[in-house]
Amino acid sequence: MSPPLFIALRFISHRKKAILLSLTGVVLGVAFFICVQAQTQGFEQFFIKTVLGSSGAIIIQDRFQTLYTGVLEPATDNVVSVTGQKPRRYTEGIIDPETMIRTVEEFSNVAATSPVLEGNAAVRADFRQEVFRVQGIDLERHLRATALREHIVAGDLAEFRLKPNGVILGYNLARNVGANVGQKVLLVGTDGGTLPFLVCAIFQTGNISIDEKRGLIHLGAARRLLRKPFGVSLLMVKLRDPARAPQLAAHLERLLQHRVRSWQERERGNLQIFRLIRISGMITVSTIILLAGFSIFNILTLMVLDKVREIAVLRSMGYRRADISAIFLWQGFLVAVIGSAFGCALGALLTYGVSKIPANIRGLLTTSHFLVHWSLSHYVVASLIAFVAIFLASYFPARRASRLAPVAILRGGGQ
């Protein structure tokens, strides 16, 4: 053990209560920081998982054509340039989905692609009717591209596979019309035509906007119901690395001349809300650590004033300014290490406890318990904030101690 560390421990022993109080602040600050970040990011990750599992990382939609105005103007070297570019003109849907699917699936990051024919319809059951967004799907492709299998809460996909006029309803949609698995319902197209369907399964993603306004039928049945004999409305694309969706979406848009949107673009508003909540929680809880830092600053400052003569004796014995400074920095370092260690342990315990708290959340997301996300980064960031705050709190008292003049102090000339 180095002499500065040994002396630091001796100094700490003289102010145990004050040091323990500051240490408690560091422990609680680190623990609350970890727990709050785990909660906010838990809901965010659940939302992202829901989006990717129900709508894909990338959606390819309408074909576009760039419009131009003005005249052809000759440029230098007899080159003709076009000026006055206007926004695009979109043509609804995808005319040749099979060719596009083959092209898209050549990219290494693409895991699966599902063609979807989409339109507005109404479901009628027990004299109740709800307007919803019906999606015609190729079941096998849709299962590979989405998490539909995981979202089924009632019924059986095998039954849906065997029934050409089977329908899978969102949980909230089925509840609103009073439809149950095995019950027959009527689907009404935009032109007023009706077709009978059998409810084969019910899904629940946890996103109320999807569970309340979406139903799935076979692609062939959707063509009959929506009176669209060819083409599809969109392609849902599953990626092996969803984080790279914006780059691939931009490339596919240039290549295919269709509108391509990544999940980050589609959900930008909700993602910003989650990010702001996470940052707000980080700032709020960090104030506990900062207050603990101020407490350390006060304790060490008072300790410098209280140990003036001891510091002078140490200087006269040959201790350098750096050694005196190290004594007080060691005290801050020990508080940071112990506080971070116990804070991380308490943070993990709190996070686990929060994850077991029942909750009946019904809004943007639907869940029966608090959601948490376990991440090493939460512990690293919390510990880093604690170390930085306490280092700054220790640095100025340590600097003051190292600048004391030993001769003047020993002669009684002041501090």
Helix (H, G, I), strand (E, B) or coil at 296: helix
User: 316 near 408, Cβ under 8 Å?
Assistant: no
Q: What are the C-alpha distances in Å from 394 to residues 196, 273, 296?
A: 76, 37, 7
More confident residue, 415 or 8: 8
Distance CA 202, CA 181 (A): 7
Kindly state the average pLDDT of the residues 295-304: 79
Structure tokens belonging to residue 161: 């596979």
Confidence of residue 395 (pLDDT cuts 50, 70, 90): confident
- Lowest-confidence pick of 87-96, 144-153, 214-223, 250-259: 87-96
Structure tokens belonging to residue 44: 């965010």
* Residue type at position 68: Y
User: 57 near 262, Cβ under 8 Å?
Assistant: yes
Confidence of residue 415 (pLDDT cuts 50, 70, 90): very low
Strands (E) in 181-222, as ranges, are 184-188, 194-203, 214-218
Beta bridge mates, 115: 235
Q: What is the pLDDT of residues 15-32, one digit of tens each?
A: 777 788 888 888 999 999
Domains in the chain: boundaries: 3-52+270-410, 95-232
Q: Please, which residues have CB within 8 angstroms of residue 46's CB and are 6 or more apart in sequence?
A: 206, 365, 367, 371
Strands (E) in 204-351, as ranges, are 214-218, 234-239, 258-262
Residue 288: what are its φ and ψ, rounded to 5°? -65, -45
Question: Virtual CA dihedral for 206, 211, 213, 217, nearest 10 degrees?
Answer: 130
Q: What is the pLDDT of residues 252-299, one digit of tens each?
A: 999 999 999 999 999 898 888 888 888 888 888 888 888 888 888 888
Distance CA 152, CA 16 (A): 58
- Lowest-confidence pick of 28-32, 77-81, 155-159, 318-322: 77-81
Angle, CA of 32, 393 and 316, to the nearest 5°: 145
Beta bridge mates, 236: 59, 114
